[in-house]
A and B are shown apart, each in its own frame.
Chain A
Amino acid sequence: MTNDIATEHVGRHQRPVWLRGMLLAFTLAALAVIVYCLATITPTQNSYYPKCQLYQYTGLHCPGCGTARASHFMLNGHILTAMHFNLFAVFALPFCTYSLVRGAVNKAFNVPRRAHRILWPAWTLWLLTVSLILFTILRNIPIEPFTLLAPHELR
Chain B
Amino acid sequence: MARERDDDYDGDMDDDYDDRPRRGRGSRGADGAPPPNYLVQSILVTLCCCLPLGIVSIVYATQVNSKWQAGDSSGALEASANAKKWSTIGFVTGIVTNIIGAIIQFAVLGAANNK
Contact = CB atoms under 8 A, between A and B. Distances in A.
Please indicate whether A and B come from the same complex rather than being unrelated chains.
yes
Interface of A: 1-3, 5, 8, 50-56, 62-65, 67, 88-89, 92-93, 95-96, 99-100, 103, 113-118, 120-122, 125-126, 128-129, 132-133, 136
B40 A132 contact: no
Size bin of chain B's contact surface: 35 or more
B60 to A, nearest CB: 10
A121 B62 contact: no
Q: Is the interface of A mostly helix, strand, loop or mixed?
A: helix
Q: Is the interface of B mostly helix, strand, loop or mixed?
A: helix
Nearest to A62: B51
A96 B33 contact: no
A128 B32 CA distance: 26
A51 B101 contact: yes
A53 B33 contact: no
A114 B58 contact: no
Contact of A5 (B66, B87, B98): B87
Interface of B: 1, 25-27, 32-34, 36-41, 43-49, 51, 54-55, 58-59, 61-62, 65-66, 68-69, 87-88, 91, 94-95, 97-98, 101-102, 105
Nearest to A95: B40
Given A3-B47, A51-B101, A100-B40, 7 more contacts: A3-B48, A5-B41, A5-B91, A64-B47, A65-B49, A121-B69, A125-B65
A117 B30 CA distance: 11
30 contacts: A1-B49, A2-B95, A2-B98, A3-B44, A5-B88, A8-B41, A53-B97, A53-B98, A53-B101, A54-B49, A55-B49, A62-B49, A63-B46, A63-B51, A64-B46, A67-B48, A88-B47, A103-B40, A115-B33, A116-B33, A118-B69, A120-B65, A122-B65, A125-B65, A125-B66, A126-B66, A129-B58, A129-B59, A132-B46, A133-B55
